[in-house]
Amino acid sequence: MLIKFFNKIIYYYRHHFERKMYHRLCEYAERGNVNAQFELAQIYESGTLAIKKNFVDAYVLYIMAYLKGENEALGCAQSLEKKMSYDELELARKAAKCLGVSI
C-alpha cells in the first residue's frame, strides 16, 4: 500500500516537472533558440510521460534547428522520416513550408 502511494507521488512530480520543462522549452524554441528547438524535437520524437509523440512537430523542429546551425538535426530528421507514415511526412513538409522552412 505504501509503495503504491509513493509511486503515485513520484508519478505526479515527474509529470509536473516534465510539463513545466516542456512549456519552458516551447517558449525558448518560439524565440528561435536552436538548442531548445533541437531538445523539443527529441521530446516530440520519443514522447515522455507527460508529452505525447508527435513526429510532424519533431520533424519541423529538427529542420528549423538544422537551418540555424545544429548539424546533428539533419541526421535526426532523416532518421525520423523512416518512422513516419507518408501522410505524416507530407504534413510535416507542408508545415515546414508554411513556416518558410525547407531543405
C-alpha cell at 27: 517558449
Mean predicted lDDT score pLDDT of the chain: 87
- State pLDDT tens for residues 54-103: 999 999 999 999 999 999 999 999 999 999 999 999 999 898 888 777 66
Q: What is the DSSP string of the chain?
A: -HHHHHHHHHHHHHHHHHHHHHHHHHHHHHTT-HHHHHHHHHHHHH--SSS---HHHHHHHHHHHHHTT-THHHHHHHHHHTTS-HHHHHHHHHHHHHTT---
What pLDDT was estimated at residue 11?
A: 67
Every domain of the chain and the residues it spans: 2-98
pLDDT at 47 over 70: yes
Q: Which three cell numbers, joined as nine digits, stand for 52?
A: 505525447
Q: How much is the pLDDT for 36? A: 95
pLDDT for 83 equals 96
How many CA within 13 A on the CB side of residue 102?
Answer: 7
